[in-house]
Amino acid sequence: MEKVILLNPYFSHTIWGGKKLRDVFGYNEPGDDIGECWGISAHPSGESTAASGEFEGKRLSELWNEHRELFGNAEGDRFPLLVKIIDAEADLSIQVHPDDEYASANENGSLGKKECWYVLDCPEDAELVIGHNAGSPEELRSMVSEGRWDELIRKVKVKKGETIQIDPGTVHSITAGVCLIETQQSSDITYRLYDYDRLQNGRKRELHIDKSLDVITVPAPSLSEQIKECAQQEENSVLRISACDRYTVSKVKVSGEFSFKCDAGFVNASVIEGSGRVFDKDVKKGSHMLITAEGAKDIRMSGYMELIISYT
């Protein structure tokens, strides 16, 4: 069994995307509107494929369905997670995601969308939209219907290296200049609450007001439950940055030779800085990979690099 399978990403071009994914991460993707790199994805909206080795060219969903041994024989009818890098050249829409129960009932059996952000880069005075200021469902509906967006949305200052947990029902938006890596459930369900009246191809993008109001948590959770401050990390260490019922996310810092174990059937890994090797594979900033059940028993890395890893 291969211990690590490098993956080719899928790229999404968006109204708010930019050039960092090509210019900073080195992806060979044309255009100046590259919004998202889906580095580890088995979602039908955009799949990763194996970059080399025995499974070269195979979609991640094919590996999940046909070679479950690679994943420690994990259960489930679909690969559970999706890892993406997002470059916001402009503000994203104000949005919210449903939970599993609502998505399954209203979105053709889809998973809900719980997600975790790790800020890779941002302006010095960066803010993100995280939560809202409505005290009751009635006040929320009133503020939305009257377009009182400045009163409604809660903007929070953020810094490079911070982690933000976005549970279903959380009003949120990534703002211009922020680049982050997102670990989420394998879902592409987003309800737009507000989109600044922007035009795309001469038309306003679709909003989902009723569904948004159905799923928004009122009152919003406290920020202390959602934002984890930057932490100093020692060399050759694994720092857990988020954990919930759907995933565990950690940051790995490698300096020289480093090995560690994960209590998981498989591990997703993305290099966010530097370069090195994972087992016998050369990797660099922007590399994404699946560490298989065989590799997860004793993960071996070398070089000088930082990675975000996740598992269920």
Residue type, 38: W
| Cα–Cα distance list, 159 to 175, 178, 231, 237 (Å) | 13, 10, 12, 22
Residues pairing with 182 in the sheet: 84, 117
| Contact (Cβ atoms closer than 8 angstroms) between residue 126 and residue 175 | yes
| Contact (Cβ atoms closer than 8 angstroms) between residue 126 and residue 177 | yes
- C-alpha 234/C-alpha 237 separation (Å) is 6
Question: What six digits make up the tokens of 55?
Answer: 């499974």
Neighbours of 256 (CB within 10 A): 11
**Angle made by CA atoms 123, 127, 129, in degrees to the nearest 5:** 145
| Contact (Cβ atoms closer than 8 angstroms) between residue 124 and residue 99 | no
SS3 128: strand
Which one of 192, 205, 246, 300 is the catalytic residue? 192
Question: What six digits make up the tokens of 186?
Answer: 């394998």
Question: Half-sphere exposure (CA, 13 Å, Cβ side) for 88?
Answer: 22
Residue 154 annotated to the active site: no
Phi, then psi, of 138 in degrees rounded to 5: -65, -45
Residues annotated as catalytic are 192
